[in-house]
Amino acid sequence: MRAVTATHDLDLPPGVRPTPLALLMLGRAADARSERGVECPGDLPSPSDPNLVARARAAKEKLGDKVFILGHHYQRDEVIEFADVTGDSFKLAREAAARPDAPYIVFCGVHFMAESADILTSDDQQVILPDLAAGCSMADMATSEQVEECWDVLAEAGIADVTVPVSYMNSSADIKAFTGRNGGTICTSSNARRALDWAFEQGEKVLFLPDQHLGRNTAVLELGLSLDDCVLYNPHKPNGGLTVEQLRAAKMILWRGHCSVHGRFDVSSVEEVRERIPGVNVLVHPECRHEVVTAADHVGSTEYIINTLDAAEPGSAWAIGTELNLVRRVAAAHPDKQVVFLDKTVCFCSTMNRIDLPHLVWTLESLVEGTVVNRIRVDAETEKFAKVALDRMLALP
């Protein structure tokens, strides 16, 4: 099977340029730049093997303190069961940085999270992603070439000097390095407000990458900026599709990226659930569209969603707008509360779901045999500047 690139055979509207990004059949063929779409190079246990749980337990026990397993809240139950710690992307970054004694960090999450863990851990620790096809479509929406080009556009408009890049954790190590080199910080969904407050103390404008929704929701609903203060930079259009005047007038320059999972929620789902369950609390992730977040009662990261449900009154009703593995787990943990999924259709994050028990067993058993599979390594130069940006985030008040 071959990788399919998006640079040909595309029927694009006038003025829209094709992206150089490779469109890959997930799980097949290699993409050297993103490590996405790489076949598992070993003997993967069969998903129907009845001994998978026992094998994972035995391998983990043999490895003992040598391995530390991090599990993002969107992982499958069968994987979460083996996580030493679970969390949102901020908590997991901190947890990775706080484990200097574990030679192997197995990251059950997606590629950008494992990259961040590699940046935050020492050189003799090895970070492993059990399936290299576990990427993030949002992170792929900003390539370093596109972002460098955008920075040139801002420089030509005379505003690069007063613009501070703020990049969402859901971005490649290259983008994080760009951010560190240019005086910016990383943020996650749990500290985006603090990151923006910090950025506006350093400069007059923010270039927010790559999730337009988190950027807009935080700027408008938490910092009190107006929608008119925000412009949308489209990397597929010359000059981002913006005039120099628009760029100079803006306070927030939002990259045109989004999460395909959270993009599915819409206002009609909020209205429908309010009609169906009177008194329901609508709780959504800030990657949802602005109108959805505005229509909701509460907004926050995956960790915030869990904590909110833990603190909720028995008998209360909740409609949650985020990935389905998490919503199901929260519902099962709170049988005394009514917890429903906000959308009518099933909504897993397909790349998060690539990490399954067979891949975890394969990873752990390989480690027991002394073989490190699927190591995620960021090169030294990228790591240096990406770490500057990540450290700025970890130091936010």
Q: Can you say which residues are annotated as belonging to the binding site for [4Fe-4S] cluster?
A: 136, 259, 349
Binding mask 256-295 for ligand 13P (x = CB under 6 A): ---x---------------------------x--------
Closest CA to 375 of 140, 65, 178, 124: 124
CA diameter of the chain: 64
Q: Which does 121 bind (CB under 5 to 8 A by kind): ligand SF4, ligand 13P, none?
A: none
Orientation angle between helical segments 89-97 and 380-394, nearest 10 degrees: 110
Q: Give, as ranges, the residues between 81 and 100 that touch ligand 13P (CB under 6 A).
A: 88-90
Residue 212 interacting with ligand SF4 (CB under 6 A): no
85 within 8 A of 92, measured Cβ to Cβ: yes
Could you say whether residue 188 binds ligand 13P (CB under 6 A)? yes
**365: contact with ligand 13P by CB under 6 A:** no
Pick the closest to residue 146 from 112, 172, 113, 184 (CA basis): 172
Instruction: Enter the tokens of residue 69.
Output: 């397993």
Binding region for iminosuccinate: 72, 89, 168-170, 189, 285-287, 302
Site for ligand 13P contains 163 (CB under 6 A): no
CB 162 within 8 Å of CB 205: yes
Query: Which run of H or E residues covers position 108?
Result: strand 104-108
How many residues contact ligand SF4, by CB under 6 A? 13
Q: Which burial class, exposed, middle or buried, applies to 189 when counting CB atoms under 10 A from its CB (0-12, 13-18, 19+)?
A: buried
By CB under 6 A, residue 212 contacts ligand 13P: no
Question: Could you tell me the smallest distance in angstroms from the CB atom of residue 18 to ligand SF4?
Answer: 22
Angle, alpha carbons 92-128-111 (nearest 5°): 65
For residue 189, the minimal CB distance to ligand 13P (Å) is 4
- Give the list of residues 6+ apart from residue 94 with CB closer than 8 angstroms, or none: 394
Dist. CA 40–CA 310, nearest whole Å: 38
Q: Does 326 bind ligand SF4 (CB under 6 A)?
A: no
| Nearer Cβ to ligand SF4 (103/286) | 286
Q: Choose, by CB under 6 A, the member of 56, 141, 150, 259 that binds ligand SF4.
A: 259
b/e 310-349 (16+ beta carbons within 10 angstroms → b): eebeeeebbbbbbbbbbbbbbbeebeebbbebbbeeebeb
Which member of 125, 170, 172, 325 binds ligand 13P (CB under 6 A)? 170
170 binds ligand SF4 (CB under 6 A): yes
136 is a contact residue toward ligand SF4 (CB under 6 A): yes
Please report whether residue 301 would count as binding ligand 13P according to CB under 6 A: yes
Q: Using CB distances below 5 to 8 A depending on partner kind, what does residue 325 bind out of ligand SF4, ligand 13P, none?
A: none
Q: Could you say which of 206, 342, 352, 367 contacts ligand SF4 (CB under 6 A)?
A: 352
For residue 375, give the DSSP letter: B
Of ligand 13P, ligand SF4, none, which one sits near residue 137, judging by CB under 5 to 8 A according to partner kind?
Answer: ligand SF4
Judged by CB under 6 A, does residue 217 bind ligand 13P?
no
Q: What would the two tokens of residue 122 be?
A: 């020492």
Structure-token pair, residue 93: 């970054």
| Cβ 43 vs Cβ 81: under 8 Å | no
* 143-177: b (≥16 Cβ within 10 Å) or e: bbebbeebbebbeebebbeebbbbbbbbbbbbbbb
Q: Is residue 137 at the binding interface for ligand SF4, with CB under 6 A as the rule?
A: yes
Q: Which does 343 bind (CB under 5 to 8 A by kind): ligand SF4, ligand 13P, none?
A: none
- Number of Cβ within 10 Å of residue 241's Cβ equals 16
Q: How far is the CB of 1 from ligand SF4 (least distance, A)?
A: 22
The residue range among 29-37, 255-263, 309-317, 370-378 that interacts with ligand SF4, by the rule CB under 6 A, is: 255-263
Q: Output 237 or 256, the one with its CB closest to ligand 13P.
A: 256
Binding site residues, ligand 13P, CB under 6 A: 73, 88-90, 170, 188-189, 259, 287, 301-302
List interacting residues with ligand SF4 (CB under 6 A). 110, 136-138, 170, 259-261, 287, 323, 349, 351-352
